[in-house]
Structure 1
């Protein structure tokens, strides 16, 4: 059985969030953009879904432009109450991994001001001239010249980490919004042999972290996502049931 077949066998498809679809799960892991919110707005059924899930709900997102603490505050403004302790974001997770597991202190971080501030609070130098690693997040400040800077560092042997490989996430009108993977794709177009590491989905790292913190098994959980190739693969790697949200452009 190949990966695609595994995803299909573990998948249920819904046009929107449905509390009944997750009522038997002891923990509900849910993607953010395209599932709960889009472009800073909650979907019409989000509040009811979040309320029905209660403390079972964890957000597991490839977002790489903010921190869990800031995201939790933004969600409150949308009437979505999920504490920062139950929000796992790929950019912040990658930053924590580099600091705590890789023992990196000198980093070249391509990210928004919020993640750079988080890096400094952790004792990292996010703009090191002689970095021990590069971390590429969703950074609107990356330009053609910046791409050259990244590739020059890689050519010197500095390892490249990428928060996520998503080319886009869906906007509220279902149109694509460029993501970190689009920047990665530009790098690969210039340097086809480029190598990198990523802990963002489809890597199951963040799903495993949620399970570890709750002491539950993959069989006790369900993962709700809008991208079968990333969310679905991450769930399939752990043998976790996957609910695929497939919204129409009319929503």
Structure 2
């Protein structure tokens, strides 16, 4: 185990059960930590097995829902039950459903997120919606981008699942995230105002603490991005381990 302490984080070069063996709750990021472009790192399965039900996945993923992500991870040899997966996109939908039950929603997202929004009771439309939500829209076209910009320009209440510009690919190359789509909107509109409960907002980590019943002093967050993972750890007062991988997935 290689572990280096800084003023703000503990730096690790790979996942090792010894990093978290004294913690009652292990919050872990997904992309760049356990997987890259859907492929597991060589040390991920052993780490998950050692953590067992102490581990909760806390990710800014806004393409999947917990159930389908759990199934996809299992197909790759990683076991994380859907009940212990908190994703920014899905949890934003849950949050908005509580604030605005039955609302008219303009949703720019994957088909899986559209299905979840309908299940939660939203009426999906781009015609005079009550609010608009941007996730990592894998269906993005110029027509959809123009529609989104028109809604924002018209004053629609705008939410985004997360503000990450990118996540790391197999060779460390950037893979476009929701923040890159926000940048495109800014290029069109100059100013874009929005709300978000994705990392670094403390909502997801606080939800994990509440659901697990574990105190912050007994928890740790393992992530690769100090601007999001490190910030959310600081916001709720838990230890942060920054993972700085050098290799690529197995």
The TM tier, using the shorter chain, reads over 0.9
Distance 1:182 1:193 in 2: 15
What secondary structure is seen at the aligned counterpart in 2 of 1:120?
helix
Deviation >6 Å, runs of 4+: none
Q: How far did 1:249 drift?
A: 5.1
Aligned to 1:4: none
Mapped pair 1:81 → 2:79: yes
CA–CA distance in 2 between the matches of 1:225 and 1:53? Answer: 15
Helix, strand or coil: the match of 2:133?
strand
Distance of aligned partners of 1:8 and 1:94 in 2 relative to their CA distance in 1, 3 Å threshold: farther
Gapped runs of 5+ residues in structure 1? Answer: 1-6
Could you tell me which residue of structure 1 aligns to residue 10 of structure 2?
A: 12
1:109 pairs, out of 107, 111, 118, with 107
Q: 1:250 to 1:59 in 2, by over 3 A?
A: closer
* Paired residue total: 245
RMSD: 1.6
Within the candidate set 151, 155, 158, 2:156 is matched to: 158
CA distance in 1, matches of 2:227, 2:175: 17
Give the CA deviation at 1:103. 2.8
Q: CA separation of 1:83/1:250 partners in 2, compared to 1, >3 Å: closer, same or farther?
A: closer
Gaps of 5+ in 2: none
Q: Deviations over 1:60-109 (max 9, x none)?
A: 00000010010111111112111101000110011111111233521000
8 Å Cα contact 2:170/2:248 also seen in 1: no
TM-score, L = length of structure 2: 0.94
Is 1:132 the counterpart of 2:130 in the alignment? yes
- Partner residue, 2:203: 205
Instruction: Report how far residue 152 of structure 1 moved.
Output: 1.3
For 1:23 and 1:14, locate their aligned partners in 2 and report how far apart those are by CA, in whole Å. 14
Counterpart CA distance in 2 for 1:164 and 1:98 is 14
Q: Could you say which residue in structure 2 is the equivalent of 1:226?
A: 224
CA distance in 1, matches of 2:54, 2:15: 15
Question: Which of residues 48, 51, 54 in structure 1 aligns to 2:49?
Answer: 51
Q: Deviations 1:119-168 (Å, cap 9, x if unpaired)?
A: 11122122342211111011122233322211211222211100010000
